[in-house]
Structure formats: structure tokens, C-alpha cells
Structure 1
Amino acid sequence: MGIPSIEVLNINDKPESSNVPQESVVPHEREVVMGVMAIWKADPETETLGISKLHALVKQNNPTWSLSEKRLKTVLKSFNLLTTSSQFSYANEITSKETPGLSLPSTVRLQFTKNRGKGLYAAKSFKAGDLIFEEESPLFFNPPLDHFTLMKNGMCCSYCGVTNLKDNVKRGLDCNVCSETWCSGKCKKMDKLHSSLKHNIFGDTKKKLMNSSKWFSYSQFCFDNKWMAAYAVALIHAQCIADKTGLLASQFDAFAQVSQRTRYKAIDSTGGAFDSINGGALFVKEQQEQLWEQGHRAFNEAFPGHEVSYEHYLVMLGTFNINNVDGSMFLVQSHLNHHCQPNVSVVFGDSKTDGIKVYAKRSIGAGEELLTSYVNPEHEQATRQRELRVNWGFVCSCSKCKSDIKALEKRRSDSVAHVKEEEDHRNALKALKDSAKEGEDEFDLPVPQSSSGTGERRKSVKFDEKVIAFKETA
């Protein structure tokens, strides 16, 4: 028998890693932040990692970066992104008033509490699936901004934005002054602002409540910047101007209010990468302020004699952003508070102009608060928390969030145990290789502990993409 030799072979067609070192680069601070953002977005649970573990992930994703833990911590601190940093919330800066002319369904009652403000409560018991209340139409309806060009060219309904326009001209549903048209007699009747906003070009324009040419300029500005909130508040302002009773203006003023500048502080404190309404705003704070200022100037030009201050314009934007449901604002529905495990569901009709219906998701007792969800309840707890804090200003502490946090802590505990098991396994493999190289005939492997604690031996072993082959030489 010959003398055995040992050869290390690659498996899984994996080539040996190159020993040629890659040139290291020093990343810009913005690259560092975006690298961290990518990790957080891929796995929201990583947002709570300490700086050492986060640094390891960043280096793993960017092996050529020359980045120390100290610099990573400094960069994140400068952008208020450290997990130990207090994240900005603004719930205590939101104000609201009693709503004038509010007519509540007999099935609900309105109640004020110190911690939650206004809220709706069940006036009777409901079973799962019961209709609790409905609102036949929104107080303020806003057509989809992305259909602006289609509306202007008569290719969709000027009011609701529907593109299915069959024989609308023959049915007398087209405008006799401009190229715009409607999908139905209902929409034509409901579009009470059309003439005032879009072709009040005759007579003394100084006496008009609105300037049509400037309105088109403002609408185009909103369309170009994909700025739905700015478009919506201008339509709301136009409706309030046209309402001689003043009730609409008072009702809009009674919605929960906050300045868009205040909301932006929360966006900025998370790098702005997760704001679902504004699309994120990291590194563009000055540009954002310039956009607001441009919008404000164009807004006032469209409403001569009914101008608003810059600060009031920002409050209008913030008010719309925290109260709208898919672009529309409802007087009763807006009083529903949030829970990540809601007991009601809000359902739109076949058309957005049909209003909404609110159903019980489960059995609800008389006197119980009616709760909806402002975010997707299926999202991870960290994602829900971030969206609620940024878009609505509060840190959620509902029962679902608390139970999700406990479940997350358990998973992390199990993960630590798994990491320990994997480390023991790697040590065992190293002992195997070392023993083989030394030519030992016998050796023992420690039995790895499974996560269940049974101590059962693994059924298969992976040798880090390599196997050890024994050959005999003559």
C-alpha cells in the first residue's frame, strides 16, 4: 500500500477566489447613507442593528469600500439616522377643531379623548360584515392628476378622469367652449367649477374669482412635478371660494391640521427614502423649499383677491396629506383613528365619486372605538412604524405593534442560538480538515446542538464548497 496524499478539490463548480486584492475606495457620505438605506429597505428588521453589525453588512455589500465603524457612525449621526437617535414625530403639533355642520349616522358617535383627540365610537353592536355607515360622496373630490393632459384634450372625463367616453358628444356631454368633456350627466352636473376655472376669459378678469390662464399654468406646474397635494389644495380652495355660505372653508379648517414643513422634518429624519406621499427627499431640502415657494406664487396668481400666506399654504398641504383617502377627503371617515389591526374596513364604490362604505371586520361592541389602518397591516412592524411616524406624525404603540416586537425579539434570540450552532459546526469541520492533514486514523466530531435542543446529529455536512480527497501513491 502506498503513502496516502491529500488533495483539496472544489465542488459546485465554484472557482477559487482570486488572491489579487481589489483597489479600495473611500465612499462619499451620500453613498454611505444610500448603502445603509438599501440594507434597511431589503430587510426592515436590520434598522435596529447596532453599529458593529450594521458596519459588517455594509462592508459585505460593498467589499471595496474603505469605511471604518467610526466613520459610519459619524455619517449616520450627521443625518440623524442612528438607531439610538430620537426620531422626529409631530403628533403633538397636529391641531383640530370641532367640525361645523357635521351630521353623524345614528350608528356612531363622536368622542374626544385626551390622548387620541377626536374619534368615532360604535353606538350599537355590530357583527363581522355589517355595514356601519356610508358617505355617499366625498366632501372634496380630486380627479387624478396624471390624467391632466387627457382631460385638457377631451380624452377623459373632466371631473372623474374616466377614459371610457362612448358617444359623449352625441349625448351633449362635451363643453361648448373648450375641448373638455364628461363621461356622464352626473359628472357634468357635479363639476361646478369647470367654467370658473377653465374658461372665464371674457369680461373684466380682475373681477373674476379665479384666473383661467393662471389656473392652467398652476395645474401644469403640479403635473410636471407630480405634486398631487398642491393640485388638490387648489381645487379645494376654489370650491371654498365659490361657496358663499363659508361652510366648506370652515369644514376644511376643522380637519386635523399640520404644516407640511413640520411633516418634512420627519421625512428628513429618516433620510426621506420611505415617504410614500412625497417620494422621498434626502439631500434636497433647499430644492423642496424652492418648490413650495414656486407653488405658492403660482397658487396666488390663480386666485387674485383670494390669496393665502405662504405659511397657510403649507398648512393646507399638510392638512390634505394627513386626511385624504386616495385623493379625496371625507367628513365623517376622517374622524377614524388608527390601529395596525383595525376593526373596520373602508370600501370605495364602483367609482370614486360614489363615496365609501365602512364595514365591521369583526364583532364590535357598543361603545367600542372604530379603528381603521392608515398603512398596510401586512407590512413589517418597523415599516409600519416608519410610515406612520413620517406620514401621520405618531409612534404607534397598538397591541399588534407590541406583539410584533415580542415576536421579533424571539426570532433574534433564536437567531443568536443558530449562529452559535453554525460556529460550532465550522469548528468541527476545521478539526476534520486538520486531522486529515495530520494523517490521524480516528477522530471524533462534536454533535451540533439543533435549535430545538435535541442534540440530534445533522444528516448532511457541507464542506465550505470543498472536499478532501485521499489518494494512494505507489
Structure 2
Amino acid sequence: MSEEVNVIIGHLDANGFLQNSELHFSKGDFLKALENAKAALQIENKNIKACIIAGRSATRLKRFDESYYFYKEGLKIDPKNKIIAEELIDLQKILLDHFDKMGIEAKEQDYNAVHFCSQDVYPEDKELFLLEKEILETKYKLENRLPSMIVDPIKRKEAAQILMKAHKIILAGETEDAIKQCTIALDADPLNITARQLRARLNQEKGNIEQSLQDLYAIPKENRSVDIWKFGGILLHQLGLPVHAEFWYRKATTLSQMKDIEAAMMFQKVRAERIYGPLTINYPIKVNFTKYGRSIFATKGLKIGEIAFEDKPVVLGKLLQYKDISACDHCAASLLTPAEYFGEKYMEFNPPLRSLIKEKWPKDESVRCSCQRQVYCNAKCQNEAWEQYHQIICPNKNVHAHALYDLHDNAGYGLNKDGIREEIWVPQYSPILLARMWAMIVMEAKRLMRKNGLSQPTFQHWAKAKTSLRKFIVFGKSNVASKLPEVFNMMREIFSDCGDGVKYEITEEEFNARYYQATCNLQSYSSSLSTPIHGLLKNLNGVNGITTMILLKLTKEEPKVATFAGMFPLHASLNHACDNNVEIIDGLVDGRPGVYVRVFRDLNAGDELFTTYIDTTMPRKIRRAWLFKSFNFWCQCRRCQFEGDGPNICTNCGKYAQEDKKFQHCGKCKKAWYCSLQCQKEAWVKGHIAICQLQHSMVNPKTIDTDLQDSTSGKGKKMY
């Protein structure tokens, strides 16, 4: 919301803003219509007319995610509203038409996340590599290569004949004898790489990993094929030496010019295990890598209602629509006051009632930064925020940061390059979150710099400083910096002077990367499980009397809490399915707001955990189009495979019906259509039986949407 709106908000009621919105809409100024509708909702959040005009305006602006949000909010107020129901149908048609016009861009594409994954060496890997090398040399006595020698041609021929004999023995299933024959061949010709590779394979089958690896290490690097490098990676992984395993897989991938997808996949599997292994040690899950990227699997059976894992954010920030609700800017804890909860009637309470509230309300330990732009639940949070990021972007220390907080306070509105006030920050989450990511990097780099007694961070320092954000995928094709030029320039100015003569250059590439890293990984959450009202009720436990009874009746209403967007490392590895088996709920992790991932359907050991990125109550075609628009992938989940798009096409074989005919639908779920009884039977056996039996009580977690997440913006929260 612009400053202009904020200035006059006290002089207009919700109806005044609504009238302005309708006037702007009639004139075709949909941006101002949306702005005024939002202002009306800020004053009166259950104004259904404002929801409708906001939805219409957002649709005209092609901000479909936002439009859908306002219509859904309207349905919460009036679930049977015919206008919203009709306009939601129109919105779905517009969305499908939008994709039909995209033509080839919207065609279904094969997706393999490994193509988007980096195999860069991590900053700390040098030390780990040397440590593993010492283990290989001292514990396993590995020789790096064969000694230089000239082999007698007769011996070489003899070795080849022995090797042929070994192959025959292998076919007979005599592995031990085959190993002996390979050894005899190598005694005759130590340079016979085929014999070494074969003996290595045979030793692996016998479980002799060390001996197998010794043969591979003896082969000169220049003579190692893609298969040898890949095989070495497998052995090193089995020995618990992940950095060396990655090194060998990287060599295989490079040598094959990225054509050996198996080697690239194995690399990412090792990397996922070593990054996420420490995070999952206390949970019945593990993180693996599949063609869709990092994925979470159950390591034991889990029942409905069980918590699969908890997660806390690495970085967080408010959603802009909740910017005025009191909460700690560092940990998201609610800072609700009695006046905010009880409203105007609080001043009308009798003295005993107000006295009881004051006595039993949790102690307010909140503090503000000297810049007055950030509030914290206590001094501990303030100190943590200061040490982790805030001192870099505190307006009292960085004059350029005032513009950042103004942009936050005005809900994304500011002056464009022409001096005209408009919405220059489109996402629902605060731009402060993006700034905090860079500030965290700068603070860590400066700490490393000081530790080494330097006046400037080295390249290595900067690389290590980015470690905490490494767990989050980054993918996006469009140039966001060009779409958000004012914000891009603002961030460049803020980080041009980070104190102590240090600066962080935010290039277009860096801006795009961090923007997509945030957009692809954010999950919304709140402190709904732990508010001052919860504390009040706890403190009232055991307190009797009429005043207490009155107060308990007055606390029936759920308190308003600020919703935050957070980047959660484990949660970010969850993939989407329209028949999700887990749900994301608010939780308390280490005493602070976080998220719980709760089982939604019974899971067996080895099952993948799926969340959902969208509202899955929509028809299949709309769901898939929406997912493509927002996350750049065509959903191939079980439900999308066995539900159909309508009576004109067979859900099983894809055959089209004649113009004047329609196919029969499944008599039970009525969500699949078949050209014949044979197709129906085939689909039933393949998996439709499971989808048909679902009650379609899909859980729709709170997701972060942004207008800039168009079809070029990447595959949602995962880029693996």
C-alpha cells in the first residue's frame, strides 16, 4: 500500500476505499482498484465486496495467484457466494486460455533435476579432502598409480589369455577362482587395466571394498574411463569418504560431458546424504536425490497424525499483509497486547477485570532497536539479530536501509524510476527477508576476516559465508532484476557499504539467484501455538472467581498472529503431489515458532513424503496448469496420472472422443473417463483404484505465491 493510502487511511472507512476501488476499476485502472480494495480489507478483513473487487482487479492484472487468494478469502466469509463461485470458474478459464496461447512453451516436458544441479566444490571441502586422503594413505595404504615399467609383449599376451580364462570362470559362478586368475594375469602384466578393473568388480561382489579400491587407485588418472571414475565413487561412498566419492563422480560427469546421468545422480545422492544426514539423525526420515531432486523418504512406518520431523528457519520475514500485527522480527513470537486482543472494549472493562488481565498476562520483555524499525520479544533475540544480520541493514548504521523499511511499511509500494508511486515489490513476503540473506553472508564473511586478522574478506571467506544458504535450491530463468529495477538498485546501495570498508556487490546474477532462492523455498508459518493468550490461560489455571470466569469467556476468540515466511532446510526438500501424504502445520521448535511436518496418510518405510504447493481441490487440468505457471513443472503425481480432464479424452490411452460423443466416467469417483471397458480395467490395475478410494480431503499448506513466479521462474521450492 502506498504512503498516500497510509496517510488517508484514517480519513476513509472501508466503504470509502471500496467506492474508490470500484471507481478505478470502472476506469480500467486495475492497479489502483486493487490497492484500494486491499486498503478496505486492511480496515475490515471480512468485507466480501472488497474480496471480490480485489480478485477481479488482480485477474485483470494477470496476477492469478493473488486473485485466487482473494476469492478464497471471500469464500471463507460466505462459502455459498454465487458471484465468487462464477468468477472462480472464469479465473480457471482465463488461466487455461493463458496456457493455450503459450503454445509450445506449455507443452509437457521431461524433467530431470540433475541438469540444474551444481557440482561445485564447497569451501570447506579442501580440509575434508586432505583428511580423507590421509585416511586412504595411512589406513588403506593406497598407491596413487602403477609404477613406470615396460612389459614384455609375451607376458602381455599371456596375461590376456589368462584374463579370457577368468571370464569363463565368472560365467561358471566361481568368483574366488576368477579373482585368482586376475591376480595371475596382473603378475604377468601389471599395466593391464582391464584385469585390474575386473578384479576390482569381483572384490566388490565379495565385500572386499579396500582391495577393490586399491586396484582402481593403481590405474593412472589419464587411463581411467568414465566407468572407472564412477565405480571408484561407489567404493569411496561405501567406505564413508563422501568428499572423495564426490571427486570421483565429478570426474566421471566431466569426462562424459554430462552425458552420464547416472554419475551425476550418484554425485547428488552423496551430497544430499552428507548435507542433510546431520539434520535427520533424530527423525525417522532421510533425504535422497531422485530425478525430481532432493526428496524425503520415511525410514520406518509412520501413522496418521505422527510428526515426521520438525524444522526451524534459517532466515525469515513477515508477510506484508501481516506487517502491522505485533510479533518478534527475529523469531516470529507473538507480541500481542491486551489492547490489541480485546480491542476497544478493553478500555470499558471494569477495574477488577483489567487488573486480573494485567496480573496474569505474560510479562512483556519486548525491546526495540534504536532505529525503531524492528521489535524483538526480548534482549536475547535482539542480540542474535544484531550479530547475525541487523547491524548491516539497520537504518541507524546504514542510511540506505531507510528505503528498505519504507518499502516494507508501504506493503511494496514506492517510487518508480519516473517518480510515480506504484507497486515496485510484488511478492507477498517482505523485501527485508531478501536483504537479511545478504546481510547474513556479509556478517559471516566479516567474522572470518577478523579471525584471520585481515581487513577484507577473501574469496574463501565469502564462499564459506554462504554455507548456511547452500541447502536451498536456486532456479529461475527470467531476469527479475529487470522486472524489479527499483528494488535491485536499492539493494545495491544498501550493500555498497557494509562497514569496516567491506562491501558486497549485488550483480543482476546475484539478485536473481537470491530472489529465486527465497521464492522457491519459502513456507509461511506463525506462532499460533504459543501466543500471550496461551500464556494468559495457563496463568489462570487454578485461579477461581467470577472475574476469572468472565475473562475466560472473553478469550474464546482466536488471537490474530502475524504470518511469516521462512526458509526451512528440511522442509525445502519436500516434493509436491496432488495426493499429498503430509501436511505442514505451525509448531514450536526449540521453544520458538517453526513448522511440524505431520503425516496425513499412513506411510511405509521407503515411502516418499509429499506435501502440496497449491490448492488441490481444483480439477486436474487447472492444478497442472497452475503448477506449471508457478513452479515450471507438469505434475506427474499418482493422482494426476489417474484422474482425467473431461469426457472428451480417455484418461488411460489418450484417445479423443468424436465431436458428438462423450466417454463414460468412473462410476465411483467420476474423475476419470474411458473409451472402453478395457481401458477402465487397465487403469484400475495400474493405480486408479488407489485414487478412486481417496476421499480427496487434501491438505493445503500455506504457500508463498508471487506474481513473478511465471512459467520461467523455476520448479517451486526445489531446484536441487
Range into which the TM-score falls when normalised by the shorter chain: 0.5 to 0.7
Aligned residues: 323
**Other-structure match for 1:241:** 442
Once residues 597 and 567 of structure 2 are traced to their aligned partners in structure 1, the CA distance between those partners, rounded to angstroms, is: 15
Given residue 181 of structure 1, which amino acid in structure 2 is its aligned partner? V
**Other-structure match for 2:385:** 191
In the alignment, structure 1 residue 213 sits paired with structure 2 residue 213: no
**Other-structure match for 1:134:** 310
Once residues 512 and 61 of structure 2 are traced to their aligned partners in structure 1, the CA distance between those partners, rounded to angstroms, is: 32
Within a 5 Å distance, the mapping from 1:45-444 to structure 2 comes to 46=93, 81-82=100-101, 84-87=103-106, 94-95=116-117, 98=271, 100=275, 102-104=278-280, 105-113=282-290, 115-135=291-311, 137-146=312-321, 157-159=328-330, 160=332, 162=334, 164-165=336-337, 172-175=365-368, 177-179=370-372, 180-184=374-378, 187-188=381-382, 190-192=384-386, 193=388, 196-197=391-392, 199=394, 201=396, 211-221=397-407, 223-224=412-413, 225-226=424-425, 227=427, 228=429, 230-243=431-444, 244=447, 249-259=466-476, 261=478, 288=483, 290-291=485-486, 293-301=488-496, 303=498, 305-326=503-524, 327-349=565-587, 353-407=592-646, 409=648
Percent identical across equivalent pairs?
16
The answer to whether the 8 Å contact 1:139/1:330 transfers is yes
Please give the root-mean-square deviation of Cα atoms over the aligned residues, in Å. 4.5
SS at match of 2:294: strand
Once residues 376 and 290 of structure 1 are traced to their aligned partners in structure 2, the CA distance between those partners, rounded to angstroms, is: 32
Once residues 194 and 112 of structure 1 are traced to their aligned partners in structure 2, the CA distance between those partners, rounded to angstroms, is: 32
The answer to whether the 8 Å contact 1:142/1:328 transfers is yes
**Other-structure match for 1:69:** none
Cα offsets for 1:123-164 (capped at 9, x unmatched): 0011122221112x212222334565x59xxx6544338452
The answer to whether the 8 Å contact 2:376/2:382 transfers is yes
The answer to whether the 8 Å contact 1:44/1:383 transfers is no
Once residues 624 and 383 of structure 2 are traced to their aligned partners in structure 1, the CA distance between those partners, rounded to angstroms, is: 42
Once residues 143 and 378 of structure 1 are traced to their aligned partners in structure 2, the CA distance between those partners, rounded to angstroms, is: 27
SS at match of 1:387: helix
Given residue 87 of structure 1, which amino acid in structure 2 is its aligned partner? A
Once residues 431 and 319 of structure 2 are traced to their aligned partners in structure 1, the CA distance between those partners, rounded to angstroms, is: 12
* Unaligned ranges ≥5, structure 2: 1-58, 68-85, 119-267, 339-357, 414-423, 449-460, 525-564, 651-655, 663-720
The answer to whether the 8 Å contact 1:164/1:183 transfers is no
SS at match of 1:124: coil
Given residue 174 of structure 1, which amino acid in structure 2 is its aligned partner? V
Q: 1:191 to 1:289 in 2, by over 3 A?
A: closer
1:83: how far off?
A: 6.6
Once residues 304 and 614 of structure 2 are traced to their aligned partners in structure 1, the CA distance between those partners, rounded to angstroms, is: 21
Once residues 35 and 319 of structure 1 are traced to their aligned partners in structure 2, the CA distance between those partners, rounded to angstroms, is: 25
The answer to whether the 8 Å contact 2:313/2:567 transfers is yes
Q: 1:295 to 1:388 in 2, by over 3 A?
A: farther
Q: 1:170 to 1:364 in 2, by over 3 A?
A: closer
SS at match of 2:466: helix
1:248: how far off?
A: 6.2
Q: 1:145 to 1:239 in 2, by over 3 A?
A: farther
**Other-structure match for 2:89:** 42
Once residues 239 and 329 of structure 1 are traced to their aligned partners in structure 2, the CA distance between those partners, rounded to angstroms, is: 13
Given residue 312 of structure 1, which amino acid in structure 2 is its aligned partner? E
1:170: how far off?
A: 8.5
The answer to whether the 8 Å contact 2:488/2:511 transfers is no
Given residue 387 of structure 1, which amino acid in structure 2 is its aligned partner? W
Once residues 294 and 127 of structure 1 are traced to their aligned partners in structure 2, the CA distance between those partners, rounded to angstroms, is: 50
1:111: how far off?
A: 1.4
Once residues 331 and 248 of structure 1 are traced to their aligned partners in structure 2, the CA distance between those partners, rounded to angstroms, is: 16
Given residue 401 of structure 2, which amino acid in structure 1 is its aligned partner? W
The answer to whether the 8 Å contact 2:581/2:611 transfers is yes
Once residues 146 and 40 of structure 1 are traced to their aligned partners in structure 2, the CA distance between those partners, rounded to angstroms, is: 23
Q: 1:345 to 1:184 in 2, by over 3 A?
A: same
Q: Which has the higher contact order (CA 8 A, sep 6+)?
A: 1
405-414 or 126-135: bigger deviation:
405-414
Once residues 410 and 112 of structure 1 are traced to their aligned partners in structure 2, the CA distance between those partners, rounded to angstroms, is: 34
Once residues 380 and 165 of structure 1 are traced to their aligned partners in structure 2, the CA distance between those partners, rounded to angstroms, is: 43
Cα offsets for 1:201-241 (capped at 9, x unmatched): 5xxxxxxxxx5221222332454234436432211221232
Cα offsets for 1:276-298 (capped at 9, x unmatched): xxxxxxxxxx9725346434434
Once residues 319 and 213 of structure 1 are traced to their aligned partners in structure 2, the CA distance between those partners, rounded to angstroms, is: 27
SS at match of 1:213: coil
1:407: how far off?
A: 4.8
Cα offsets for 1:68-98 (capped at 9, x unmatched): xxxxxxxx8xxx8527443277976643673
Once residues 184 and 372 of structure 1 are traced to their aligned partners in structure 2, the CA distance between those partners, rounded to angstroms, is: 34
The answer to whether the 8 Å contact 1:109/1:121 transfers is yes
Once residues 91 and 106 of structure 1 are traced to their aligned partners in structure 2, the CA distance between those partners, rounded to angstroms, is: 28
Q: 1:287 to 1:342 in 2, by over 3 A?
A: same
TM-score (normalizing by structure 2): 0.38
Given residue 319 of structure 1, which amino acid in structure 2 is its aligned partner? Q
Cα offsets for 1:83-121 (capped at 9, x unmatched): 7443277976643673647421340112122x2121111
Greater fraction of residues in helix: 2
1:360: how far off?
A: 1.3
